[in-house]
A and B are shown apart, each in its own frame.
Chain A
Amino acid sequence: SQPLAGHQAAELQSKVVPSKQILHSDNMEMEPETMETKSVTDYFSKLHMGSLVYSCTSKRKSK
């Protein structure tokens, strides 16, 4: 019988896209998600400290 390799090679040659006979990579590498962020200091600074962002502790120390 004809060698198996001959058949497989013919199959591979016959297509531009990967042959169904091989495992092809379908592993897309996606970019990360972006999450929206909030901070307790955002509100804290607006409420108590004007435009400067201080931590709670530094505010207390400065008092």
Chain B
Amino acid sequence: MEASCLELALEGERLCKAGDCRAGVSFFEAAVQVGTEDLRTLSAIYSQLGNAYFYLHEYAKALEYHHHDLTLARTIGDLLGEAKASGNLGNTLKVLGNFEEAIVCCQRHLDISRELNDKVGEARALYNLGNVYHSKGKNVASAGTHDPGDLPDDVKNALQKAANYYEENLKIVTELGDRAAQGRAFGNLGNTHYLLGNFRSAVLAHEQRLLIAKEFGDRSAERRAYSNLGNAYIFLGEFETASEYYKRTLQLARQLKDRAVEAQACYSLGNTYTLLQDYEKAIDYHLKHLVIAQELNDKIGEGRACWSLGNAYTALGNHDQAIHFAERHLEISREVGDRSGELTARLNLSDLQMVLGLSYSTNNSMMSENHVGENSFNGTRPRVGRRHSMENMELMKLTPEKVQNWN
């Protein structure tokens, strides 16, 4: 009976290591069913079940098993086991958005690691704490529409704490000579600086991340670094440099055959060339983005592509194409229930109509419903929050005030 539980658990371990977490889970669950009197073995099974569910994005289950593991580790007085369970529970609570409890758990991981003089554990707990504060800051920030650097105090405090934890982590992993851990800390530190508006520091951190990614031949990490460097250079106003980094992102995305990332890189390049006022190139990349968005049936991405294309064609004075894409943007915004996108599209269309004077009439029902839609917004400014699509980009609003200023 005992051997059977172990055998099942070992097979679960083997499958998870081979990347088949789904099959691994069934073996671990079978092992739990068979049961064992060895509580340390049971703790290891719970822990691995928790991690497998975490990787499968089934966080409620992950939480359940990491909680079982924590209880068990405390029961048997296994301090190292308790530290590990606390860390895993903290990471899971973070993903579930329960930041306060996540902090308590990660802090426990840190305290025990220090008590045991476990430097590796201490460093990992510091990284996890950094991640929790980063997520907390980002979560509060996304409730409003802010540019990086333009943040309320509570967001800034959380992000500053994240940066401090990453720095502390870096000190230890540098001493330990753990380059992989340094790479991770630099990447997330760079993103924290980016959100704080410290774009030069962000660049420095991402350059380090890039160096380490190259050392390891880790092309996914290399691609991440290029993309993050592109983002930081945009906010430094160095659009040419940003475009170079986005091009490298695109190149790697194509090599890695990741269509969603490829689309995102095209989208970033489209925006960068808009900033460079090279609208032909902007259109070229936005069209590439549009094609992939359609291929992946990403309606939100398609709507954004249409909006961007409408703007770029407007900039070129090609009002026919501009109207075509603005109408398509309106259509898609309605389809996906994006109220602010709908309002933006209407404003764009009415603006284009003004530019064209009487040559463009409201020849379809879209414009005629204009006042109904606007009344429903009741005078509030459209606010566009974070939307989940493949490129996970933030739609910056076209404010009614700006539209008025145009004419």
Contacts and interface: CB of A to CB of B under 8 A. Distances in A.
Contact of B397 (A18, A20, A28, A33): A20
B354 A1 contact: yes
B311 A21 contact: yes
Interface stretch (B269-277, B290-298, B359-367, B372-380): B269-277
Interface string B46-59: 01100100100000
Contacts of A39: 13, 44, 48
B10 A55 contact: yes
A23 B6 contact: no
A9 B38 contact: no
A26 B198 CA distance: 15
Interface residues of A, number: 44
Instruction: Label chain B's interface by main secondary structure.
Output: helix
B3 A60 contact: yes
B188 A22 contact: no
A34 B128 contact: yes
A20 B405 CA distance: 14
28 contacts: A1-B357, A12-B275, A20-B398, A21-B396, A22-B275, A22-B308, A25-B391, A25-B393, A26-B386, A26-B392, A27-B227, A27-B264, A29-B191, A29-B224, A31-B224, A34-B127, A34-B181, A35-B87, A35-B88, A36-B87, A36-B124, A37-B84, A38-B48, A38-B81, A43-B44, A56-B6, A56-B10, A57-B10
A16 B43 contact: no
B79 interface: no
Interface of A: 1, 3-5, 7-9, 11-13, 16-44, 47, 55-57, 60
B41 A24 contact: no
Given A21-B311, A25-B231, A37 B51 contact: yes
A44 B267 CA distance: 52
Nearest to A60: B3
B16 to A, nearest CB: 10
Nearest to B390: A27
Nearest to B184: A31
Given A4-B352, A26-B148, A27-B231, 12 more contacts: A5-B315, A7-B406, A7-B407, A22-B311, A23-B267, A27-B268, A28-B231, A29-B191, A35-B87, A36-B47, A42-B44, A47-B38
A22 B314 contact: no
Nearest to B28: A40
B355 A1 contact: yes
A9 B311 CA distance: 11
Contacts of B371: none
A27 B391 contact: yes
A46 B382 CA distance: 62
B138 to A, nearest CB: 8
B247 interface: no
Given A8-B314, A9-B315, A43-B41, A37 B48 contact: yes
A5 B41 CA distance: 69
B183 interface: yes
Contacts of A11: 402
A26 B3 CA distance: 52
B259 interface: no
Nearest to B138: A28
Nearest to A5: B315
A26 to B, nearest CB: 4
A26 B146 CA distance: 10
